[in-house]
Amino acid sequence: MKSGTRVVVAAAAMVAALGLVTGCGDDDSGDGGAKGGGVKEGQSAAGKPLSAAQLEKAAVTKADIKGFQIQKLSEKEFSDGGAAKAEKSACQPIASLMGASFDPAPKASVYRTYAQSQGDKLGGSGMIRLSAYGGDDARTTVKDLRAAVSACQGGFAAKDGSGKKSDVAKVTPETDPKVGDESLSFSLVDASREKAVVKFAVARTGSQLSVFFGVNLTDPSKSDVPVELLKAQVTKIGKANAS
């Protein structure tokens, strides 16, 4: 991704402009199923990772939950700009989440952008990454993120894929949404002049991770990941994981 937190804001602005103003590119597919409620602890065995096609079917759509515009994001759009790099190795898991290179690497991923519909007003916007991992890699990723959030609350220096500064001023643990088999939530403040605030929520369901990036274009202090959207996505992934 082009420049860490700033590309999240740019993508959110794009989906808000296209999805809410013109209605272009809406993802109308879906089975109209889940509307909330996470998968309970212990219900999802790690098992075989889902394929890219299965992840596509498991991605939440506007048919699953009211009040959101949801669009597909291609692998190229997501990964354009390469990997982010943290100066401190302890903070690299967060930098990786901001970029397009992950360690351990998922077997397959699909991407969505979302914008919360509030009449003519722009609400919360952001991105969703659904990834399937081999072995115990999904669990390892969550463990590494927890450690990084704890170690890097004072912020850290980082560079985007082009080598430009993409420093983080502050990392703040947020309330665990308690969805999927395990989950965590945190926010970060971009160290640039804009001081963009981005919220992250990560939920593991078996060998799959649902990763949310959330911003608020009109009031950065209210950036959030909508809990109803998070629950709808985790429930849908849970059904796919169990099938």
Write down the pLDDT at residue 99: 75
CA 54 from centre of chain: 18
**pLDDT tens for each residue of 48-72:** 899 999 999 999 998 999 888 898 9
Residue 222, helix vs strand vs coil: helix
Edge-to-edge, what's the strand order for the sheet holding 197-205? 68-73, 108-118, 121-132, 208-216, 197-205, 182-190, 168-174
Write down the pLDDT at residue 10: 52
End-to-end Cα spacing for the chain: 33
Which residues 6+ apart lie within 8 Å of 206 measured at CB?
44, 45, 46, 47, 138, 181, 241
Give the tokens for residue 39: 């998968």
Using an 8 Å Cβ cutoff, are 59 and 240 in contact? no
pTM above 0.85, yes or no: no
Q: Which of 73-77, 104-108, 228-232 comes out lowest in average pLDDT?
A: 73-77
The beta strands (E) that lie in 66-120 are given as 68-73, 85-86, 108-118
Compute CA distances 94 → 32, 107, 141, whole Å: 33, 19, 10
H-only helix segments in the chain: 5-15, 52-58, 75-79, 92-98, 137-151, 227-242
Average pLDDT, stretch 149-167?
88
Mean pLDDT of the chain: 80
What share of the chain in percent tops pLDDT 90? 47
Which residues 6+ apart lie within 8 Å of 45 measured at CB?
206
